[in-house]
Amino acid sequence: MSESRPAAAPRTSRGAATRDRILEAASTLFYEHGIHEVSADRIIEVVGVTKVTFYRHFRTKEDLVVAFLEQRSAIETAAFEGAYEQAGHQAVATFDLLAAGIGAESCRPGFRGCPFINAAAEYADRDSAVRVAVDRHRAWMLSFFRRLLEGAGVARLDEATDAAMVLRDGAMVSGYLTAPEAVADTLRTMFHALVDAYRQEPAGRRPAR
């Protein structure tokens, strides 16, 4: 018989603290072990709450996964925007700070790559709430790169934006699979090459193949 799922709990201070503990534990477990490897029962055991309490805050495991991704999105958005502000809204300087930040993250113990790429790999259904959360964050990242590159005066802005995203994604994967200590310098070099290449090309002109 299926277990009854109570309505979402009101956000009292005590309730918020419990929700935060569940989300913190789940975030660590999801990132370290993979989403499908971590059951709701495992999270309940780690946090030390009852099933009723767990499902009062997150009616399904998928709701919890979405909350995890939304929290990661907020962290990454703040980091990117912070770099942009620190760089005085200068594109190349912002790319330098992003490369340094991604490189430092890659060298952090327990780094397992991009949580959004990881989540997408585990959820094949593009209409699932998890994939919607992934796509929403990646759409924001594309808009951020587009803003940077537009400010740098590059040609073929759509293509340059996609290229910047590929560099970021590649750095996150490489940082996990190969040599994390090389990520910052390599990514900075590639960001510079990207900006230089698209700046040098006259707008509306595509090089011969």
The string of DSSP letters for 85-149 reads HHTTT-HHHHHHHHHHHHHHHHTSTT--S-HHHHHHHH---TTSHHHHHHHHHHHHHHHHHHHHH
| Tens-place pLDDT, residues 154-168 | 999 999 999 999 999
Q: Is the pLDDT of residue 205 over 90?
A: no
Q: Is the pLDDT of residue 190 over 80?
A: yes
* Same-fold call for 7-59 versus 62-200: no
Handedness of CA 100, 104, 106, 107 (dihedral sign): positive
Q: Is the pLDDT of residue 120 over 90?
A: yes
Q: Is the pLDDT of residue 12 over 70?
A: no
**What per-residue confidence (pLDDT) applies to 203?**
47
Q: Is the pLDDT of residue 206 over 90?
A: no
Please report, for the chain, the start and end positions of each structural domain, with discontinuous segments joined by +: 7-59, 62-200
Multiple choice CATH, 7-59, 1.10.10.60, 3.50.50.60, 3.40.50.300, 3.90.105.10: 1.10.10.60
Q: What is the CA radius of gyration of the chain?
A: 20
Q: Is the pLDDT of residue 80 over 80?
A: yes
CATH 1.10.510.10 is the classification of domain 62-200? no
